[in-house]
Amino acid sequence: MRKLRVFESISVDGYFTDASGDTSWAHIGQEDPEFSQWVAGNATSGSELLFGRRTYQMMEAFWPTPAAIAQMPAVAHGMNAARKYVVSRSLTPTWNNAHLLPGELVEAVTELKTQTAPDLTVLGSGSIAAQLGDAGLVDEYMLVIVPVALGAGRTVFSSRRRLRLCAQRTFDSGNVVVTYAT
């Protein structure tokens, strides 16, 4: 059975978006060469990706572009090559290797987890991550804690959850990556 991981950038006070839905603050530390190298390595992990509609549209609008390929070639290659699943009732995916996730979210992801295939990673897509966490389907949370406090916003957790620390890494930018198992 393959793992389901949630990958999310969060503020030090635990939000993945600010109160207005903005996520641009999450890019603090991108000028840190060590962190950029870690991101590139992470993007080439071979994991299959799972997106909600809004995150998918944001990713699709950037990663296949010449600007993305010039700025972050390894990440762009990984994102463009990866198999991608999209949760949407209104969208027809057009990005390379992107497929609409059929049926209801929990049932469809439960079925995906039983397949012999690379692990699944939810990128962003906070409401999808919260629903899958509530259903007990998330095996790991990989959180990039960005050194900014937002004061309000949306969290990836909708209920209390006890997690076990598996790994942590600190970067010069102040970003801290922590991996927790459920």
Q: Determine the Cα–Cα distance for residues 63 and 80; give it in Å rounded to an integer.
A: 7
Share the mean pLDDT of the chain: 91
CB 14 within 8 A of CB 152: no
pLDDT on residue 81? 92
Residue 123 inside a domain? The answer is yes
Residue 180 inside a domain? The answer is no
What is the reported pTM?
0.89
Q: What are the contacts of 35-39 at 24+ separation with CB within 8 A?
A: 35/171, 35/172, 35/173, 35/175, 36/72, 38/169, 38/171, 38/177, 39/72, 39/75
Per the structure, the complete domain to which residue 138 belongs is given by 4-174
Residue 182 inside a domain? The answer is no
pLDDT on residue 87? 93
Residue 141 inside a domain? The answer is yes
* For the chain, percent of residues with pLDDT exceeding 70: 98
pLDDT on residue 28? 67
Q: Determine the Cα–Cα distance for residues 118 and 113; give it in Å rounded to an integer.
A: 10
Residue 9 inside a domain? The answer is yes
Residue 181 inside a domain? The answer is no
Q: Determine the Cα–Cα distance for residues 163 and 143; give it in Å rounded to an integer.
A: 12
Residue 130 inside a domain? The answer is yes
List the CATH number of the domain containing 118.
3.40.430.10
Sequence-separated (6 or more) residues with CB below 8 Å from residue 4: 50, 109, 113, 119, 120, 121, 122, 132, 137, 138, 139, 140
Residue 25 inside a domain? The answer is yes
pLDDT at residue 154 tops 70? yes
Report, as an integer, the average pLDDT of 3-28.
Answer: 90
Q: Determine the Cα–Cα distance for residues 34 and 29; give it in Å rounded to an integer.
A: 10
Tens of pLDDT, residues 71-103: 889 889 999 999 999 999 889 999 999 999 988
CB 181 within 8 A of CB 163: yes
The count of domains in the chain is: 1
